[in-house]
Amino acid sequence: MGEPLVEGIERYHVRDAIQAAYRAPKGIVRELVLDLSQSKGEPDWMTEYRLKALEIFFKKPMPTWGPDLSELNLDDLTYYVKPPVERPARTWDEVPEEFKKAYERLGLSKEEQEFLAGVSTQYDSEVVYTGLKKELEQRGVIFLDTDTALKEYPELFREYFGTVVPASDNKFAALNAAFWSGGTFLYIPKGLKLELPVHAFFRINTEGMAQFERSLIVADEDSFVHYIEGCAAPFYNTNILHAGVVEVVVKRGAHVRYSSIQNWSKSVYNLVTKRASVEAHGTMEWVDGNLGAKVTMKYPSAILKGEGARVDVLSIGYAGKGQIQDVGTKVLINAPNCTATVVSKSIGKDGGKTNYRGLVAFGANARGSKAKVDCATLLLDDLSTSDTFPYNEVKTADVVLEHEASVSKVSEEQLFYFMSRGIPEDEAVKMIVLGFINPVAREMPLVFAQELNKLIELEIEGGLG
């Protein structure tokens, strides 16, 4: 049966007793990049890629256009922490007992795999388990940790790696490209539509570390996949950095749904880069739930590069005391008759700050394309704040662009309506908030929608300091 499940939001933030097999010295040095690449047995081209990325990182300034990052000391972090496993397990029975207990405590037990086509779990800097249903392997699906995929599928890997998010994209993408370890590699063959989702979970357990998973998803023509991501880390008094990179390649007529429930503790700087390249008549969906973290800067993006390409973004951000959720999306439309729909919802409580920061850019070839952005914020007190920072760029006249933004509070009339029917005030607030986030939750599989709703409820009740 394993350890009993810890109740409430605390189960995500409990510290495991697992000791790292190796922890690199603190700081950003060239020798560590070389050692990391050589210890993994990587080809020369990847070592060179890492070193060039490190040069880019040193040249790029820290971003100053968003939340204050001055308390994040990059030289005081550990950039590689190896868990005590030699290689990722391919079956649940191969997973070491201490990791089974840790994941059972989080609810990622073997039974949950009944709802999934495959499961991957990363612990600190390495993936410890990746499992895929046998029949899907036989049909050509590749679902591996990124390190293993580099070795077993070198040509396919090199064809797509770094093509959607190059190392030069931003300072933290460059840092990821230099120190990346772990992550998910997923390839869906032409015409195959997965009925069940795959799930990847990323866990940080070590104090003062930086996690740099690198995920690459390739959906070949006319395929479909739903990829679900979850994240958690215990609370420490020192900062933790999470700077993952996700690249999604959506081929002609393919459809990818990427759902994320990130529930980092409030000592984490969550500074990630996620982007999709969408070919003709392809569809990319980002369904995003952001809770926890001290600072989140996250803007799931899409480049619509083929006629009739589509992107839909649904996101929810929750900011409590001492938290900043700076989230949004970026859409670059470079082809005719494309469609972009963005629905962003945020909640502020106890002085939390929520921002929507977005870009919609219509290129010269975007004739006949449409984009609609709808931002809504619900503030639960007078201390919380919210801002919207939209940036729109239009290089052709034959397009349609709509943008709406609103900020509201839980009104006395709403509370009176519920309380007059015998519902206590705290329960009434929960019902109003859950109704507010319903457009996001209903797009997730039932078990994960229930999890998102429960996490929001727990945060409203007080959450974790």
Q: What is the mean pLDDT of residues 65-73?
A: 95
Tell me if 276 is assigned to some domain: yes
> Between 62 and 3, whose confidence is greater?
62
Q: Three-state DSSP class for 98?
A: helix
Residues 259 and 210: their CA atoms lie apart, in Å, by 23
Shared domain for 116 and 264, answered yes or no, is yes
Full residue range of the structural domain in which residue 63 is found: 10-298
Tell me if 119 is assigned to some domain: yes
Q: Which amino acid is at 244?
A: G
Last residue of a domain, one of 282, 298, 314: 298
Tell me if 51 is assigned to some domain: yes
Instruction: Provide the domain count of the chain.
Output: 2
Tell me if 321 is assigned to some domain: no
If residue 174 lies in a helix (H) or strand (E), which one and from where to where? helix 171-179
377 near 325, Cβ under 8 Å? Answer: no
Tell me if 409 is assigned to some domain: no
Shared domain for 294 and 432, answered yes or no, is no
**CA neighbor of 280 nearest in space, from 246, 255, 247, 301:** 255
> Mean pLDDT: which of 221-225, 260-264, 380-384 is highest?
221-225
Measured at the CA of 321, the angle between CA 447 and CA 16, to 5 degrees, comes to 55
Q: Is the pLDDT of residue 240 over 80?
A: yes
Tens of pLDDT, residue by residue over 101-144, are 777 766 665 555 667 888 898 989 999 988 888 899 999 999 99
Q: Which amino acid is at 110?
A: K
Average pLDDT, the chain: 90
Last residue of a domain, one of 267, 298, 329: 298
Tens of pLDDT, residue by residue over 358-377, are 999 999 999 999 999 999 99
Tell me if 342 is assigned to some domain: no
Residue 137: both structure tokens together: 């392997």
> Between 216 and 450, whose confidence is greater?
216
Tell me if 83 is assigned to some domain: yes
Residues 325 and 331: their CA atoms lie apart, in Å, by 19
Last residue of a domain, one of 298, 332, 367: 298
Tell me if 164 is assigned to some domain: yes
